[in-house]
Amino acid sequence: MSTSRRKFIRQTSAAVIGAGLTSMLPLDAIAQIKRRVSANDKINVGLIGCKGMGWSNMSALLNNVPEAQCIALADVDQSVLDERAANVEKLRGKRPQLFKDYRKMLELKDLDAVIIATPDHWHCLCFCDALSADKHVYCEKPLANSIEECNVMLGAAKRAGKMVQIGQWQRSGAHYQQAYNYLKSGKLGNIRLVKCWAYQGWMEPVSVKPDSAPPAGVDYDMWLGPAPKRAFNPNRFHFNFRWFWDYAGGLMTDWGVHEIDIALYFMGAIAPKSVMASGGKLAYPDDASETPDTLQTVFEYDNFNMLWEHATGIDNGNYGKTEGIAFIGNYGTMVVNREGWEIIPETKRNDQGILMYEIEDLPDQRRSGNANYLAEHLKNFTAAMQANNASLLNCGIETGAVAAINAHMGNVAFKTGRKVYWDTAKGEFKNDAEANALMKAHYQNGWKLPKG
């Protein structure tokens, strides 16, 4: 792998996994822009879940959308609230209101929209409550922590009629659209296989730690919410919650939704016919995490197969890239990732026996400069709000649901240890009670799943 690729993946990993491309304008430039915006044009936004990706989203919004202002923050950790309130005040000169319970924040009459960046097991509740409170919603990926919750959220969004953007920000990447246009030209020929992958060399073992008291200022019962009651353990809290089934789906749903989304978008597919998966804790068998650190998943769609694979602790992924999607056709392969895209042509011999390319060799179509696609994604969200036009959204609720549901299917196949078959008409697995049970959300501690 090149040094630049290794540097890229390490810079975009631990603090803000799966994104973190926030650009920063000088504060005096922000102030100049802000003064040119009428008070009537303001978009009042609140943030639910203010640490890693929550702050990446909010800071990208404040630094790139001058009419947006953060008027409220909600988080169960008082230290995070205080830190982010100071960050907002530094950027915009005004301290937002602070809430330990997001439901109180949603009572604010002048709140137009919320960004949801909680652990995955909270997405559905926050999402449905925000829509019920008549707010627009930007929700981090994956859409939810179960297939059942995804379906509930689809129904809630349809009823509410508000703008809903899901944080699969690669949909706002210009070079992904360029690659899509090339694929649709037909030059690759028949595409029979798509490969998606995320190799995460920066991820080290999650060291085993004893249970302890929650940190001061943390409402741990609220953090657990609908998840099973457990003693506090620092491994299950900030950031590392991703590697525990109670709260998330591991790399399959964390990175997988980004890459699977692009794969299915390019191929015009929605649901597989079958899925099988194999892997486990093969890199770090004795660490504290639960989700597999090594996984290969095969999705069967009409006319093509898709492979998903992830691995922690190593960077040498397919085609020398730590992450990406490869579309393998009869005449060549297109590889696209966050750095750009390229065409690797197939070869054949002509009548004179000379080896020739089937199609033009396009070795390195890099993305434009320092393009900030996370910022573009949030700008797209605010533009749709201002126009009150959901057709403008680059990643609406349906798009987010397709990616999340497919990723969850991969986890279901892994947990069952066998090939599972999907019934699109019924929206469930065929003749498989165990797999269908794994689609469900099991809310606890008095919390109830919202109605679909």
pLDDT digits (tens, 9 = 90+) for 138-174: 999 999 999 999 999 999 999 999 999 999 999 999 9
How far is CA 87 from each of CA 73, 159, 183, 268, 398, rounded to the nearest angstrom? Answer: 11, 35, 43, 41, 33
Q: Which domain holds residue 93?
A: 14-171+374-396
Residue 40 confidence (pLDDT):
59
Q: How many residues does the chain have?
A: 452
More confident residue, 59 or 356: 59
| pLDDT band, very low/low/confident/very high, at 52 (cuts 50, 70, 90) | very high
Closest CA to 4 of 274, 443, 322: 322
Flag whether pLDDT at 29 surpasses 80.
Answer: no
Residue 410 within a domain:
no
* CATH number of domain containing 99: 3.40.50.720
Residue 429 confidence (pLDDT):
98
CB 185 within 8 A of CB 162: no
Residue 309 within a domain:
no
- Mean pLDDT within 226-253: 97
CB 326 within 8 A of CB 335: yes
Instruction: Determine what percent of the chain is predicted with pLDDT higher than 70.
Output: 90
Residue 30 within a domain:
yes
| pLDDT band, very low/low/confident/very high, at 21 (cuts 50, 70, 90) | very low
Flag whether pLDDT at 76 surpasses 80.
Answer: yes
Q: How many domains does the chain have?
A: 1
Residue 166 within a domain:
yes
Residue 370 confidence (pLDDT):
64
Residue 366 confidence (pLDDT):
77
pTM: 0.89
Residue 6 confidence (pLDDT):
33
Q: In the beta sheet, which residues pair with residue 48?
A: 74, 116
| pLDDT band, very low/low/confident/very high, at 349 (cuts 50, 70, 90) | confident
Residue 257 within a domain:
no
Residue 114 within a domain:
yes
